[in-house]
Amino acid sequence: MRFDRDDYSLVDEPSGTAPTRRRRGTAAALALAAIVPLGFAGWIGWHAAADDHGSRSGADTAQASLTAGGSGASTPDGPDAAGGSPSASASSSSAAPPTDRSGAVTTGRPLAGKVIVIDPGHNPGNVDYPRQINSTVFVGNGSKACDTTGTSTNSGYSEARYTLDVARRLRALLQSEGAKVILTQDGNLPWGPCVTQRAQIANAAHADASISIHADGAPGSDYGFHVILPAAVHTGGVDNRSIVGPSRTLGLDLRAAFAKATHERYATYINHGTGLDVRSDLGGLNLSKVPKVFIECGNMRNFGDAARMTSPSWRQLAAQGLASGLTAFLAR
């Protein structure tokens, strides 16, 4: 949101040799008849276990020790919201398919081995903790509020609810492609976390990419989405210069994929309608050590954008666009 964004002040092989003596043919045939079904059953069991293993996905979230709060997983916002796929366990006498350091099966899944951090902007509970979220944190080139409440549509649908719903939908899509996905908060914290901690979560995970999901609060006549890229910041013990280039590539991939999936136009009010903005005042970008961008998915104060963002089906399109952009970037 514009007025207080980011820091705001997402085989069977029985060889079957012929018997050497005719009188043993019947016994050999009976033995073979018994072995083949058993071998075929074992083959089916292995593949069932492999398929079950491939569908496994965990709902990884940031540790509650970063801020006060519980650690329970929340259900998505609204009846149409998408969640992560359920965990399952399988037993098999055969060896499990190979997995990587993220626990994802490494066969045939484009994001296997990738770690992605999704940062749902703000927190629905922030409004109840003004003292905590208004405390200041150092972001390298200045101080910012720990977090803010975010914006909302004119009818009261909050940015924090929107970002959390899209983040959960995006998580499910990325996990289905084999990625390990971490959310900076999943409705399991009473407020925050602070913008500094949101960056630290991705850094600690050595994420391959990180995205912070937001919506803007510009004047009602303005509309469209834009991606915020990090400017180089090298001061106050902070140096993000190594991630500026890859973050721009990530931003370009996300801009193209989001526009294609949602048919949302580039923001009419930012940087001459290019759909891109470069900023040095956002702690989440200044402090990042991994490729990271923000996306403002639309203007919640604009009637058309608000109608889209309050639609569960459009939020699913938004998540699909973000997933496609991240996949394009990580496939390079």
Q: What is the DSSP letter of 74?
A: P
Number of domains in the chain: 2
Distance CA 238, CA 235 (A): 5
Q: Over the stretch 62-88, which tens digit does the pLDDT of each residue have?
A: 433 343 333 333 333 443 444 433 333
**Annotated catalytic residue 296:** yes
Give the pLDDT band of residue 108 (cuts 50, 70, 90): confident
323 domain-assigned: yes
Is the pLDDT reported for residue 49 higher than 70?
Answer: no
Contact residues for 256 (Cβ-Cβ < 8 A; gap 6+): 325, 328
The answer to whether residue 8 is domain-embedded is no
- In one-letter notation, the amino acid at residue 53 is H
Query: What's the mean per-residue pLDDT of the chain?
Result: 79
Same domain? For 29 and 161 the reply is no
What is the C-alpha separation between 109 and 119, in angstroms, rounded? 23
d(CA 289, CA 240): 6
Give domain status of residue 12, yes or no: no
User: Cα separations (Å) of 82 from 148, 169, 179, 210?
Assistant: 26, 5, 17, 20
pTM: 0.72
131 within a domain of the structure (yes/no): yes
The answer on 178 and 265 residing in a single domain is yes
Please indicate, yes or no, whether residues 195 and 255 belong to a single structural domain of this protein.
yes
With tokens 């203007």, the residue in question is 299
Mean pLDDT, residues 178-182:
98
For 225, the domain range is 59-64+97-330
pLDDT for 106: 53
Q: Does 181 fall in a domain? A: yes
69 in a structural domain: no
pLDDT at 326 exceeding the cut of 50: yes
pLDDT at 167: 98
CA distances from 273 to 266, 268, 277, 304, 317 (A): 6, 5, 10, 17, 22
Q: Quick check: 300 and 152 in contact, CB under 8 A?
A: yes
Find the CATH number of the domain harbouring 119: 3.40.630.40
What confidence score (pLDDT) does residue 99 get? 61
3-state DSSP call for residue 24?
A: helix
pLDDT of residue 8: 36
What HEC string does 277-325 produce? EEECCCHHHHCCCCCEEEEEEEECCCHHHHHHHCCHHHHHHHHHHHHHH
In terms of domains, do 40 and 172 share one? no
Task: Tell whether 256 and 315 lie within a shared domain.
Answer: yes
- Do residues 33 and 150 share a domain? no
Number of H helices and E strands in the chain, helices first, is 8, 11
- pLDDT value of position 9: 36
On whether both 313 and 205 belong to a single domain, the answer is yes
Rounded (to 5) percent helix, strand, coil in the chain: 40, 15, 45
**Among 77-81, 232-236, 253-257, which is the least confidently predicted range?**
77-81
- According to the model, what pLDDT value does residue 6 have? 41
More confident of the two residues 33 and 304:
304
